[in-house]
Amino acid sequence: MAALLLDPLAAIGRATLGACRVAGDAALFALEGLSHVLRPPFHLRLFWRAFIEIAWFSLPVVALTAIFTGMVLALQSFTGFARFNAQSAIASVVVISLTRELGPVLAALMVAGRIGASFAAEIGTMRVTDQIDALTTLSTNPMKYLVAPRLLAAIIALPLLVLVADVLGVMGGWLIGTLKLGFVSDAYLKSTFDYLQAQDVISGLVKAAAFGFVIALMGTWCGYRSKGGAQGVGGATTSAVVASSILILALDYILTEIFFAQ
Amino acid sequence: MTEAMAAPGQAQAIAAATPKIRVRGLCKAFGPKQVLDGVDLEVARGHSLVILGGSGSGKSVTIKCILGLIQPDAGSIEIDGQDVLKMKRHDREAMADRIGMLFQNGALFDSLPVWENVCFKLLAQKRLSRATARDKAAEVLAQVGLAASVGDLWPAELSGGMQKRVALARAIAAQPDIIFFDEPTTGLDPIMGAVIDGLIVDCVKRLGATAISITHDMASARRIGDSAAMIHKGRIVWTGEARGLGHSGNAMVDQFANGRREGPIQMELRR
Ligand SMILES: Nc1ncnc2c1ncn2[C@@H]1O[C@H](COP(=O)(O)OP(=O)(O)OP(=O)(O)O)[C@@H](O)[C@H]1O
Ligand SMILES: [Mg+2]
């Protein structure tokens, strides 16, 4: 009887302990990775390779996402705001929602799919084929060689990508505004920049850096801890993408609260 | 204390008497599975030990414990008389710099061309510039019977046997004091196998390195080993001269060396 009552409690306890262990492991992994970012020797070649992979090759996806988001925003707010005769606010709405919110979040989600998966698959394969052990025997710290350059590259690359996304998103809104909704180009651009504050853009870029860190961390961590052959690597890839996507959304709320709550 | 007080000549004699590698009571379990259950090993400086044992008997795990890649549950591992498990991380890394390892499956870095794989450790330790690394790689590749042009290929473009030889080249390129070979000749044709055996003997004799090799090939074991040890059920059940394999007087070793089905070792086959 007692066992019947206690079993569910035990299961909950086990799950909680497991979750704590996993979170603690990820946190320690993050700290160790970051400490290697700051300590020489630095692997500039690997940093550069990761940077190109993240910043340059994600550019098309992020650009398309941003342009279409800007276009949709303009169109949606036009139909919505027309009810209140508030069409003049459209340009501001587009630019503020993009820089503060949609630019960083959507760019990060797109990059999480590409980069989180590729990091997890590459490092996971290295783990299950003993390549990470081989690094250790070849006088190279795998955290420094594999994790630190990727963390740093993602933290730097994401803000740059988001800056591009902001510009292209505004351009998408402007295209729809002038070509379809009948705004005068100069007036649209003027109202875009009239209400825009530096804080809007900067908070978005800080968010982007944080998201970049989360993406690289989840990708490398899931890969590093993977075991069990091709299936294990597949699982690591999935977890990396799911975990980083959820963490991006959660972190987005927390950062917004920090930046904008009065 | 006695060592500190001894005369220099005596201290050297004591150093020569300490085995290069000494493993005592090594235990390791993976979950409920006790893989190593008190392994004892000793290898003298400049000697070559061959470890034999059935598939899954824990040979690779033993080597990985000595390398520090797997943390054992109990036991001690001494290299040059110092317990590596009690060492500070920095000292342990310095120790690892002098050890070379050939992994069972090669473990070549597939994001790097062959020449960079071969010279990886020399480049990491800054003992070599990238400009001169290609020439050095060609030199080491020649020792394992590969043409210099192989250096520009990617690991994925090599056959299994070629990968093994590149991995071997990588393990010996930095001229380590201690080398571990995990099945150096499996997957090679008999002639190349003999060449690789010769190379291993050469490393030990010429460089004065201490070697531990794992092999399933008895001819190869006799060629490369000074002594041999047999591992079974997580323990060392026999040690002796490698030359005596096949007529050692130990029923298990003789069964293993001659590849007989009947004997004290029962393979766990399920039907
Ligand atoms: N990382 C690990 N996690 C769980 N079990 C492991 C791990 N590594 C090894 N084992 C188990 O330990 C046992 C010994 O493995 P090991 O690789 O040492 O065998 P081996 O003697 O080298 O065999 P082979 O000759 O086939 O290479 C195996 O049963 C294996 O399942
Ligand atoms: Mg093995």
| ipTM entry | 0.85
Query: Tokens representing A229?
Result: 């052959």
Q: What is the pLDDT confidence band of residue A113, given thresholds at 50, 70 and 90? A: very high
Inter-chain touch A137–B105, beta carbons under 8 Å: no
Q: What share of chain B is helix, strand, coil (3-state, %, to 5)?
A: 45, 25, 35
Distance, in Å, from the CA atom of A154 to the CA atom of A157, rounded to the nearest integer, reads: 5
Q: What is the mean pLDDT of residues B201-205?
A: 81
Sort strands B227-232 and B33-43 into parallel, antiparallel or unpaired: unpaired
Distance, in Å, from the CA atom of B18 to the CA atom of A165, rounded to the nearest integer, reads: 66
**In this structure, which amino acid lies at residue A174?**
W
Residues 6+ positions from B25 with CB-CB distance below 8 Å: B38, B39, B40, B74, B75, B76
Closest-lying ligand 1 atom to the alpha carbon of residue B70: 1
Sequence length of chain B is 271
- Confidence check: pLDDT of B12 > 70: no
Q: What is the pLDDT confidence band of residue B4, given thresholds at 50, 70 and 90? A: very low
Residues 6+ positions from B269 with CB-CB distance below 8 Å: none
Tell me the chain B residues in contact with residue A32 when contact means C-beta distances shorter than 8 Å. none
DSSP label at residue B243? G
The pLDDT assigned to A72 comes to: 93
CA distance B101 to chain A (A): 7
Residue B98: CB atoms within 10 A of its CB come to 16
Question: What 3-state DSSP class applies to B72?
Answer: coil
Q: Which residue has the higher pLDDT, B66 or B1?
A: B66
Question: What 3-state DSSP class applies to B240?
Answer: strand
Residue A6 resides in a domain:
no
The pLDDT assigned to B2 comes to: 42
Residue A97 resides in a domain:
yes
Among partner residues B69, B104, B111, which is closest to A136 by beta-carbon distance?
A: B69
The pLDDT assigned to A58 comes to: 94
Inter-chain touch A133–B64, beta carbons under 8 Å: yes
Among partner residues A122, A133, A140, which is closest to B107 by beta-carbon distance?
A: A133
Q: What is the pLDDT confidence band of residue B1, given thresholds at 50, 70 and 90? A: very low
Q: What is the pLDDT confidence band of residue A204, given thresholds at 50, 70 and 90? A: very high
Tell me the chain A residues in contact with residue B109 when contact means C-beta distances shorter than 8 Å. 126, 131, 134-135
- Confidence check: pLDDT of B202 > 90: no
Sign for the pseudo-dihedral over CA of B52, B56, B62, B67: positive
Closest-lying ligand 1 atom to the alpha carbon of residue B53: 21
- Confidence check: pLDDT of A212 > 90: yes
Q: What is the pLDDT confidence band of residue B6, given thresholds at 50, 70 and 90? A: very low
How many domains would you assign to chain A? 1
Residue A1 resides in a domain:
no
Q: Which residue has the higher pLDDT, A185 or A221?
A: A221
Tell me the chain B residues in contact with residue A122 when contact means C-beta distances shorter than 8 Å. 111
- Confidence check: pLDDT of B122 > 90: yes
Q: What is the mean pLDDT of residues A21-38?
A: 92
Prediction pTM value: 0.88
Inter-chain touch B124–A136, beta carbons under 8 Å: no
Q: Which residue has the higher pLDDT, B248 or B19?
A: B19
DSSP-derived secondary structure for B54-69:
-TTSSHHHHHHHHHTS
Residue A208 resides in a domain:
yes
Inter-chain touch A133–B105, beta carbons under 8 Å: no
Instruction: Say how many CB pairs under 8 Å bridge A and B.
Output: 48
Q: Supply the angle between the helices A2-38 and A148-179 in degrees, to the nearest 10.
A: 90
CA distance B104 to chain A (A): 9
- Confidence check: pLDDT of B100 > 50: yes
**Residue A139 belongs to domain spanning:** 25-257
Residue A104 resides in a domain:
yes
pLDDT averaged over every residue in chain A: 91
- The tens digit of pLDDT for each residue in B133-183 reads 999 999 999 988 899 999 999 999 998 888 988 999 999 998 898 999 999
The pLDDT assigned to B8 comes to: 52
Do the beta carbons of residue B49 and residue B226 sit within 8 Å? yes
Sign for the pseudo-dihedral over CA of B208, B209, B210, B216: negative
Distance, in Å, from the CA atom of B101 to the CA atom of B106, rounded to the nearest integer, reads: 10
- What is the Cβ-side half-sphere exposure of residue A31, based on CA atoms within 13 angstroms? 5
Nearest CA to ligand 1 atom 25: B55
Tell me the chain B residues in contact with residue A126 when contact means C-beta distances shorter than 8 Å. 109
- The tens digit of pLDDT for each residue in B103-119 reads 988 899 999 999 999 99
Inter-chain touch B67–A137, beta carbons under 8 Å: yes
Inter-chain touch B68–A136, beta carbons under 8 Å: yes
Segment holding B179, helix H or strand E: strand B178-182
- H helices within chain B, ranges in order? 2-5, 8-17, 59-67, 89-96, 114-118, 120-124, 130-143, 160-173, 190-207, 218-224, 251-258
Do the beta carbons of residue B121 and residue B170 sit within 8 Å? yes
Do the beta carbons of residue A259 and residue A203 sit within 8 Å? yes
Residue A2 resides in a domain:
no
Distance, in Å, from the CA atom of A210 to the CA atom of B221, rounded to the nearest integer, reads: 55
Q: Which residues of A29-40 are buried (b: 16+ CB within 10 A; e: fewer)?
A: bbeebbebbeee
Cα-based angle A145, B86, B167 (whole degrees, multiple of 5):
40
The fraction of chain A above a pLDDT of 90, given in percent, is 69
Q: Which residue has the higher pLDDT, A248 or A184?
A: A248
The pLDDT assigned to B91 comes to: 86
- Confidence check: pLDDT of B226 > 70: yes
Among partner residues A126, A129, A136, which is closest to B96 by beta-carbon distance?
A: A136
The pLDDT assigned to A175 comes to: 92
Q: What is the mean pLDDT of residues B93-106?
A: 89
The pLDDT assigned to A7 comes to: 83
Nearest CA in chain A to B69: A133
Among partner residues A126, A130, A137, which is closest to B96 by beta-carbon distance?
A: A137
Tell me the chain A residues in contact with residue B64 when contact means C-beta distances shorter than 8 Å. 133
The pLDDT assigned to A169 comes to: 94
Residue A18 resides in a domain:
no
Q: What is the mean pLDDT of residues B50-75?
A: 90
Q: What is the pLDDT confidence band of residue B269, given thresholds at 50, 70 and 90? A: low
Q: Which of A114, A112, A107, A213 is nearest to A163 (CA)?
A: A107
Residue A10 resides in a domain:
no
Sort strands B74-79 and B21-30 into parallel, antiparallel or unpaired: antiparallel
Nearest CA in chain B to A131: B107
Sequence length of chain A is 262
Nearest CA to ligand 1 atom 1: B30
Q: Which residue has the higher pLDDT, B236 or B267?
A: B236
Distance (Å) from CA B86 to ligand 1 centroid: 25
Distance (Å) from CA B37 to ligand 2 centroid: 17
Residue ranges lining ligand 1, Cβ < 6 Å: B 30, 35, 53, 55-61, 104
The fraction of chain B above a pLDDT of 90, given in percent, is 36
- The tens digit of pLDDT for each residue in A68-83 reads 999 999 998 888 887 7
Q: Which residue has the higher pLDDT, A19 or B247?
A: A19
- Confidence check: pLDDT of B270 > 70: no
